[in-house]
Amino acid sequence: MHTHYQDDLLLKHIADAVGYSVQHLNRLFHHHYGVTGHQYMQRLRLQKASEWLDKHPRASVREAAETVGMEVNYFIRMFKREFGETPGKGIKHRNRLQMEKDLTSS
């Protein structure tokens, strides 16, 4: 999952690859991580997007969503649910911090 988070992965394909049923794989995920496999993948994608945005402060929300293989509107809703703010607000905040940093180092 960590290697292919950008791909359109279905839990069924992951379960097939490791020789488990989807239900059993979800039980294992819930036991180890406290979330379903889908929730784990979603959080992984959102975390990767947040890290990517940190490295690319001038990037757009669309670019961030596409980088992690998510549809833009869904990405925005899930990002806000996970981090408490939309990715657009995060981008503005990062850009403001970068401008302040640039001004103080000049």
- Distance CA(106)–CA(102), nearest Å, equals 6
Taking residues 17-44, report their average pLDDT.
Answer: 91
- Residue 26 CA, distance from chain mean position: 19
CATH of domain 11-105: 1.10.10.60
List C-alpha distances in Å: 95 to 1, 47, 84, 90, 91: 31, 19, 18, 9, 6
Look at the pTM and tell me if it is higher than 0.85.
no
- Distance CA(100)–CA(3), nearest Å, equals 35
Q: Is the pLDDT of residue 85 over 70?
A: yes
Structural domain boundaries in the chain: 11-105
Residue showing tokens 């290697």: 3
Number of residues in the chain:
106
Q: Is the pLDDT of residue 6 over 70?
A: yes
